[in-house]
Chains A and B, each alone.
Chain A
Amino acid sequence: MDVLTEGTAEYLKVDPDGFREWVRDHKSRALVSKLVSEQEAVERLVADGDYFVFDCAEAMRGPMSLIREIIRQRKKDLWIAGKFTFFIPSMLVAAGCVSKADMGFFLGWGSVINKAVQEGTLKVYEYGNTVMTMRLKAGAMGLPYMPMRILGGTDTFRYSAGKIIDDPFTGEPMVAMPALNPDVAVIHVHQADVYGNARVFGTGIAHVESALASRKVIISTEEIIETEEFRRDPGRTSIPYYAVDAVVHAPFGAYPGECAGYYASDPGAIIEMGAADKLDAWDAYLEKWVYGVASQDEMMEELVGMTKLRGLIQRATIKEGYRA
Chain B
Amino acid sequence: MNEMKKAVGTPATTFSEREYEICVAARMIEDGKSYWVAIGGGPLYAVLLAQRLYAPSAMYVTEDGVIGPEPLLPLDPLVIGVASRPNYRALMWSTMNGLTEHAQLGHMDYGILNSLQVDPYGNINSTWVGAYPEEGRRMNGPGGADAIASACWRVLLMVDQQKRKFVPEVDFISSPGFLDGSPGAREKAGLPRNTGPWRVATPWAVFDHDEDSRHLRLIARAPFVTVDQILAEMDFRPLLADEIEVLEPATEEELLILRSELDVTGQNTGVGRWVAQAEDGSWSFAEDNG
Residues of A bordering B, CB below 8 Å: 56, 59-61, 82, 84, 86, 103-108, 111, 113-114, 117, 124, 126, 128-131, 133-134, 137, 148-157, 159, 164, 172-175, 202-209, 257-258, 260-261, 264-265, 267, 270-271, 274, 316, 318, 321-322
Which of A60, A149, A155, A322 is in CB contact (< 8 Å) with B173? A155
Residues of B bordering A, CB below 8 Å: 63-66, 72, 76-85, 87-88, 93-97, 99-100, 104, 123, 127, 132-133, 137-147, 150-151, 172-176, 179, 185-192
Residues of B within 8 A of A131 (CB): 146-147
Q: Are B150 and A149 in contact (CB under 8 A)?
A: yes
Q: Are B104 and A271 in contact (CB under 8 A)?
A: no
User: What are 26 A-B pairs at a CB distance below 8 A?
Assistant: A60-B83, A84-B64, A104-B141, A108-B138, A113-B138, A129-B142, A130-B99, A130-B144, A131-B147, A134-B100, A149-B190, A149-B191, A152-B176, A153-B173, A153-B186, A154-B174, A154-B175, A155-B174, A156-B173, A159-B132, A173-B187, A205-B96, A260-B84, A265-B83, A270-B77, A270-B79
Please report the C-alpha to C-alpha distance between residue A155 and residue B133 in the assembled complex, in whole angstroms.
11
Nearest B-chain residue to A238, judged by Cβ: B95
Which of B79, B93, B172, B190 is in CB contact (< 8 Å) with A155? B172
Q: Are A150 and B88 in contact (CB under 8 A)?
A: no
Which of B72, B96, B123 is in CB contact (< 8 Å) with A206? B96
* With contact pairs A151-B176, A204-B64 given, residues A156 and B79 touching in the complex (Cβ less than 8 Å): no
Q: Are A150 and B150 in contact (CB under 8 A)?
A: yes
Residues of A within 8 A of B95 (CB): 133, 203-208
Residues of B within 8 A of A137 (CB): 97
Q: Are B77 and A316 in contact (CB under 8 A)?
A: no
Q: Are A204 and B65 in contact (CB under 8 A)?
A: yes
Q: Are A128 and B189 in contact (CB under 8 A)?
A: no
Please report the C-alpha to C-alpha distance between residue A106 and residue B145 in the assembled complex, in whole angstroms.
13
* With contact pairs A209-B97, A257-B79, A270-B78 given, residues A106 and B104 touching in the complex (Cβ less than 8 Å): no
Shortest distance from the beta carbon of A313 to any chain B beta carbon, whole Å: 12
* With contact pairs A206-B97, A316-B84 given, residues A104 and B66 touching in the complex (Cβ less than 8 Å): no
Nearest A-chain residue to B92, judged by Cβ: A203
Q: Are B145 and A203 in contact (CB under 8 A)?
A: no
* With contact pairs A203-B65, A318-B72 given, residues A175 and B190 touching in the complex (Cβ less than 8 Å): yes
- Which 6 residue pairs across A and B have the least CB separation, nearest first? A153-B189, A152-B189, A105-B143, A152-B190, A128-B146, A150-B150
* With contact pairs A133-B100, A258-B79 given, residues A156 and B175 touching in the complex (Cβ less than 8 Å): yes
Nearest A-chain residue to B179, judged by Cβ: A153
Q: Are B93 and A202 in contact (CB under 8 A)?
A: yes
Residues of A within 8 A of B82 (CB): 56, 60-61, 202-205, 258, 260
Nearest B-chain residue to A132, judged by Cβ: B96
Q: Are B84 and A150 in contact (CB under 8 A)?
A: no
Q: Are B79 and A271 in contact (CB under 8 A)?
A: no
Nearest A-chain residue to B190, judged by Cβ: A152
Q: Are B63 and A129 in contact (CB under 8 A)?
A: yes
Residues of A within 8 A of B133 (CB): 117, 124, 159
Q: Are A103 and B179 in contact (CB under 8 A)?
A: no
* With contact pairs A60-B83, A129-B143 given, residues A318 and B104 touching in the complex (Cβ less than 8 Å): no
Q: Are B100 and A130 in contact (CB under 8 A)?
A: yes
Please report the C-alpha to C-alpha distance between residue A173 and residue B190 in the assembled complex, in whole angstroms.
5
Q: Are B189 and A148 in contact (CB under 8 A)?
A: no
Shortest distance from the beta carbon of A254 to any chain B beta carbon, whole Å: 10
Please report the C-alpha to C-alpha distance between residue A298 and residue B210 in the assembled complex, in whole angstroms.
61
Please report the C-alpha to C-alpha distance between residue A129 and residue B123 in the assembled complex, in whole angstroms.
18
Q: Are B190 and A164 in contact (CB under 8 A)?
A: yes
Q: Are A130 and B63 in contact (CB under 8 A)?
A: yes
Q: Are A152 and B141 in contact (CB under 8 A)?
A: no
Nearest A-chain residue to B100, judged by Cβ: A130
Residues of A within 8 A of B83 (CB): 59-60, 202, 258, 260, 265
Nearest A-chain residue to B62, judged by Cβ: A203
Which of A59, A149, A150 is in CB contact (< 8 Å) with B78? A59
Shortest distance from the beta carbon of A58 to any chain B beta carbon, whole Å: 8
Residues of B within 8 A of A61 (CB): 82
Which of A114, A155, A174 is in CB contact (< 8 Å) with B127? A155
